[in-house]
A and B are shown apart, each in its own frame.
Chain A
């Protein structure tokens, strides 16, 4: 495999559970050495896609390679070369940090095991806590331990499934520094997240909704491709009407795909510029509010994408 070959290249990947299409003909290429952000609403198929990539699930249709290895036939080899960090903490809570890492290093039959465990503990700042039980660690430290266990065998590809959910901002920032340091060493990372600031830290992002890939590219590209126009209205402070009143008045007007209050401001937007301006025209002159046109954010784009795709998960258990 040459340096230019992609770390992940899959085509037409599909998976359904009990008749529900969770991943629908997904094609995705992740270049080697890049950090790819994987975004999408809950239940959009991110976790399923990651599990398909590492062989935990068998696709119904489609084919592809992970690190040049066939995901259908060579999943055992793939498992040796990837690090997969599950959404839910999945190491042993009744083992200490170092015992967990020892277990993983033995399973991977790592040469020079002791030194590698010591190095990894050092690298992630876990050395001082090595003898603490994993179950007693806070969210941030658990996530560090999970990352340590995933990179112990020096994988070439990291699959991280919402690694920073429920972790405080400082720990998240440290985590991302680690991810960037690993990518600088040549590791490819596919990371799913709900945080916009994290998406912006990625080299590229892919947006998944209800099993379909809706957008892909750098953050700037994804925003530009969405073709969204946004305005922000601010209470002028002189009038009687409040942001909430404005939001009620605007709701449901044609061309407004997006109406979201942010404190004393209201953010509105739409994909059809002419229609949006036409609907807003009666409000722009209202002296109770100050309007300005601004650049759409990544979040605007995602909420817009989400509302324009349909949920195929309606229904319940029986």
Chain B
């Protein structure tokens, strides 16, 4: 056989060796089978690009028959979940700012009377348009919905009002992102995605590298406490994270012209909690993984749901409830709300406190796991 010929025996020797090694690496083997299955089931059911059950609040200043009919229709609609009745403007403003509702429908005073008189009164809809994908479909549905609601009550002498145009004027007010520019939503979100990806991987490799190179034994025998090793490993990457934040904010402003409504200082201060949480997660992975390949696999296993279930790619409220609960565990979910809140809505400390609190809780839990998992012996 020539020098360039392929020997079946040699090829087989190589293939056989690879299979034996594959079988020895239990975690990798489990992930090869488990990951596709888990992710298929998870994302197959969770992801919905035409979201339903979006949270909505109603401000009913009319309290007349037509207002009540509207409310009743919205209550049974699959597009919306009527979660709040608000009493005044301030309250609805608050709900939108905190992202607790996606829409506020304001039924003005005298709505019923003016409909009856054929004056075509305005029905005001305020939509949180930070994520245009989540709102556009629902806004279309809202008009049809309102019309059906009123048509049922337009009987007797009012039957004439059923004709087009509708007996009211739907006035849609897109909040925070008037032009419904998707980039405004995506670019701040990317900040969270980039930080998640790079920071988790970097620390996931940090401890595994020490183990793989044999320097771990030396580190263990020196008088270092686990918390010192962990903080020492994490701290330099906090700086790296901040450099990334700065690069993204500047690019968002200069290249994508994303408005920065809120305080950059607040964004800087809250980012540290998110950065630290990601680093702690990476550190935990590196205490689980036996080698750098496994550490990479674990990082990607974490990264995929972070992108798909956090509300970065698909509207969070559009996912089934169980998937939303799952999403709440991910730091990215909370950081997206913080960063979009600050940059697009101009949220202050009060509005983002709950999300930052959630991030801090995640950080605490993961850190405890990481420190407990970090062994001071080779047992």
* Partner-B contacts on A (CB < 8 A): 51, 54-58, 76, 79-80, 82, 84, 86, 88-93, 104, 107-108, 317
User: Which residues of chain B have C-beta atoms less than 8 A from A88's C-beta?
Assistant: 214, 217
New contact pairs (16) apart from A104-B222, A108-B223, A317-B24, CB-CB < 8 Å: A51-B378, A55-B377, A56-B217, A56-B220, A56-B378, A84-B221, A86-B214, A86-B217, A86-B218, A86-B221, A88-B217, A89-B214, A90-B213, A90-B215, A91-B215, A92-B215
Chain B interface, number of residues (Cβ within 8 angstroms): 15
Q: Are B213 and A93 in contact (CB under 8 A)?
A: yes
User: Which residues of chain A have C-beta atoms less than 8 A from B377's C-beta?
Assistant: 55-58
- With contact pairs A86-B217, A90-B217, A93-B213 given, residues A108 and B222 touching in the complex (Cβ less than 8 Å): yes
* Partner-A contacts on B (CB < 8 A): 24, 213-218, 220-224, 377-379
Compute how far the CA of A93 lies from the CA of B215 in the bound complex, rounded to whole angstroms: 9
Q: Are A57 and B222 in contact (CB under 8 A)?
A: no
User: Which residues of chain B have C-beta atoms less than 8 A from A92's C-beta?
Assistant: 215
Can you list 17 A-B pairs, Cβ within 8 angstroms, ordered by A?
A51-B378, A55-B221, A56-B220, A56-B377, A57-B379, A79-B222, A79-B223, A82-B221, A86-B214, A90-B213, A90-B215, A90-B216, A90-B218, A91-B218, A104-B222, A108-B222, A317-B24
Main secondary structure of the interface of A (DSSP, over half): loop
Compute how far the CA of A107 lies from the CA of B220 in the bound complex, rounded to whole angstroms: 12
User: Which residues of chain A have C-beta atoms less than 8 A from B220's C-beta?
Assistant: 56
Compute how far the CA of A93 lies from the CA of B213 in the bound complex, rounded to whole angstroms: 9
Closest to A82 in B: B221
Interface centre among B24, B217, B218, B223, by most chain A C-beta atoms within 10 angstroms, is B218
Compute how far the CA of A51 lies from the CA of B379 in the bound complex, rounded to whole angstroms: 10
User: Which residues of chain B have C-beta atoms less than 8 A from A89's C-beta?
Assistant: 214
Closest to A161 in B: B217
- With contact pairs A56-B378, A57-B378 given, residues A90 and B214 touching in the complex (Cβ less than 8 Å): yes
Closest to A108 in B: B223
User: Which residues of chain B have C-beta atoms less than 8 A from A107's C-beta?
Assistant: 222-224
Compute how far the CA of A86 lies from the CA of B222 in the bound complex, rounded to whole angstroms: 12
Closest to A83 in B: B221
Closest to A48 in B: B378
Closest to A135 in B: B213
Closest to B232 in A: A107
Question: Within the complex, what minimum Cβ distance (angstroms) separates A310 from chain B?
Answer: 26
Compute how far the CA of A317 lies from the CA of B213 in the bound complex, rounded to whole angstroms: 23
User: Which residues of chain B have C-beta atoms less than 8 A from A91's C-beta?
Assistant: 215, 218
Compute how far the CA of A80 lies from the CA of B223 in the bound complex, rounded to whole angstroms: 6
User: Which residues of chain A have C-beta atoms less than 8 A from B213's C-beta?
Assistant: 90, 93
Question: Within the complex, what minimum Cβ distance (angstroms) separates B290 from chain A?
Answer: 14
Compute how far the CA of A107 lies from the CA of B379 in the bound complex, rounded to whole angstroms: 23
- With contact pairs A88-B214, A91-B215, A91-B218 given, residues A58 and B379 touching in the complex (Cβ less than 8 Å): yes
Compute how far the CA of A19 lies from the CA of B24 in the bound complex, rounded to whole angstroms: 20
